[in-house]
Each structure stands twice: as C-alpha cells, then as structure tokens.
C-alpha cells in the first residue's frame, strides 16, 4: 500500500457510515465514500460542525449543502498550490491520495540526470503535471475538458509555474496519442488517470474495462528508447493492483525494468488506520 502521508493542509479526520470527514486547509467537508462500509462511532466534533456536506441521492448523483464555505480557496502540498472549489459529484478539484505518486515520480525525475519529457493523459486539474514540472520535467498535459485544463493552468500560476515548460492541450487522449505516433514524437515518462467512463470533446466514448489495455499498448509506442517510468492510476473497482501489473508487465516487457502495483491510501487521524483510495501501477527502469 502506498500512503500519501506528507500532507499538512489536508487530512482525513474520520470515516464512518459511507462518508469521510476531511480537513481541506481551514475547512471541514463531509463527502461520501463507497469504500467506507463500516459503522464506527462518530465522535469527532467535525461531524457536527462542518463547512459543507455532500449528500448522495438514492437516484444517483447528489448535491452540496453549504454552511460556511467560500466559493474557492487554496491548499498547498510542498511547493505546489491548488485552487479548490466544490463542484459536481462531490469533487473539489484534487485527489490528495495522488501525492504518494507525485513524491515517487518527482524523485525519479530529479535523479534522472537528463532532460525528462512527461506525457500526462486524462490530466484533470494538473496535480501530476505540476509535480513533474516542479521536479524539472517538461510536461505535455492532455485532457478532454476545456474547463479542467483552464483550472490546471490556474493551479500552475498559483504554484509559480506559469512559465514552466508545460504544453496545455484540450484533446481526446487516444486520438492525441495516435497523432503523436504518426508525428514520431516520444516521451520518457507517461502518466495516465483514466476515468471509468467518459466522453471526448467530440463525443468519443471511453469505457475503461474495454479501453484501458489497448490504450496502454498504444502509449508504449510513444515511449523513448530509454523510458524512465510509466504510471497508471485506477479508481475502478474491477481494476485491482494485480490486474494493473498484468497489463503493464505484458505491454512493457520489451523495455525490461520492473512493475509494482498497490492500493493507494490516506491515513485516518481518528483511527490511525488507512482509507484505500484506488490503485496505481508503476513501471520503472532498472
């Protein structure tokens, strides 16, 4: 299990009865979490005095209930600053558990001893993009949502990375990689965080169970001759760590190296235990 345990501005205070109580900077949020199937006593005072609460609907979706929360605020991780705001389906614009991966690949970039080109696919609001850029990489950031790319640019400005070597692209990830293959462009590292289901800017349909393995295979064709790392994140229940290892090992065996896949998790302050938050598969050069 890889644990994001170096946060100062974020923590999971407690979790019980399908929900987690989180501190995002100065604000406490209650959000649903399907992994939280236990019913433990809610003794933390934050359960009774939060700044916002996202309520799931039995019909699907849900809505925010606000008590005292600004429309936007920021938190920091190391030298990075993220702009947060509550928006659709419980999200705030950041997945804090991914800090476990940011720390891992940032060290690999810093110690590479050479220029590193990173391709970040399904790049969302840019957490991995900014971590890689701050470590010294040049990054190509691709996401199908123009709004998410705009948000990521705002995070770059807030993090002092406005002039960092980052290419910001609104595009369908599969079509972008296919064009990069035709252009003969290559990358030393690839990061991908594919959704369970999604649509591209022109209505392209993505279903992860059908698409992820062919997409990993496709992406190996834009790796450089001496790639540094390949990272696949999954929040889909069926894609267990062993499944990620199998796909990555199968498609990257020609590059040698080694593969490891684990759950990623966040420490829970109240219990001292860990809340699982998906899985990641990591390939790295030996």
pLDDT at 206 over 70: no
Q: What is the pLDDT of residues 47-90, one digit of tens each?
A: 999 999 999 988 888 999 999 999 999 999 999 999 999 987 89
Structure confidence at residue 201 (pLDDT): 61
Q: What is the pLDDT of residues 255-282, one digit of tens each?
A: 999 999 999 999 999 999 999 999 999 9
CATH number belonging to the domain at 97-284, selected among 3.40.50.150, 1.10.3720.10, 3.40.640.10, 3.20.20.120: 3.40.50.150
Show me where the domains of the chain are located.
2-84, 97-284
Q: Which residues contact 189 (CB under 8 A, 6 or more apart)?
A: 105, 108, 109, 116, 117, 118, 119, 132, 137, 227, 228, 229, 230, 231
Other CB atoms within a 10 A radius of the CB of residue 208 amount to 18
Q: Does domain 2-84 have CATH number 3.30.1700.10?
A: no
Measured distance CA(15)–CA(26) in Å, rounded: 19
């Amino acid at each position: 299990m890889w644990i994001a345990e170096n946060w100062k501005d974020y923590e999971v205070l407690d979790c019980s009865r399908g929900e987690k109580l989180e501190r995002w900077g100065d604000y406490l949020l209650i959000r649903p979490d399907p992994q939280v199937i236990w019913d433990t006593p809610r003794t933390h005072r934050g359960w009774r005095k939060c700044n916002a609460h996202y309520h799931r609907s039995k019909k699907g979706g849900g809505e925010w209930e606000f008590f005292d929360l600004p429309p936007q605020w920021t938190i920091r991780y190391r030298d990075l600053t993220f702009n947060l705001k509550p928006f659709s389906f419980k999200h705030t614009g950041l997945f804090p558990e991914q800090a476990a991966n940011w720390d891992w690949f940032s060290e690999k970039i810093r110690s590479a001893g050479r220029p590193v080109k990173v391709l970040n696919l399904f790049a969302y609001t840019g957490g991995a993009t900014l971590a890689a850029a701050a470590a010294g990489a040049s990054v190509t950031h691709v996401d199908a949502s123009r709004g998410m790319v705009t948000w990521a640019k705002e995070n770059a400005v807030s993090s002092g990375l406005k002039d960092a070597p980052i290419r910001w692209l609104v595009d369908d990830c599969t079509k972008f990689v296919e064009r990069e293959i035709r252009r003969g462009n290559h990358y030393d590292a690839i990061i991908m965080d594919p959704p369970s289901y999604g649509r591209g800017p022109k209505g392209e349909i993505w279903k992860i169970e059908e698409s992820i393995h062919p997409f990993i295979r496709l992406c190996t064709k834009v790796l450089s001759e001496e790639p540094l790392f390949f990272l696949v994140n999954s929040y889909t229940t069926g894609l267990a760590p062993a499944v990620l290892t199998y796909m990555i090992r199968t498609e990257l065996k020609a590059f040698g190296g080694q593969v490891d896949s684990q759950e990623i998790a966040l420490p829970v302050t109240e219990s001292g235990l860990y809340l699982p938050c998906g899985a990641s598969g990591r390939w790295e050069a030996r």
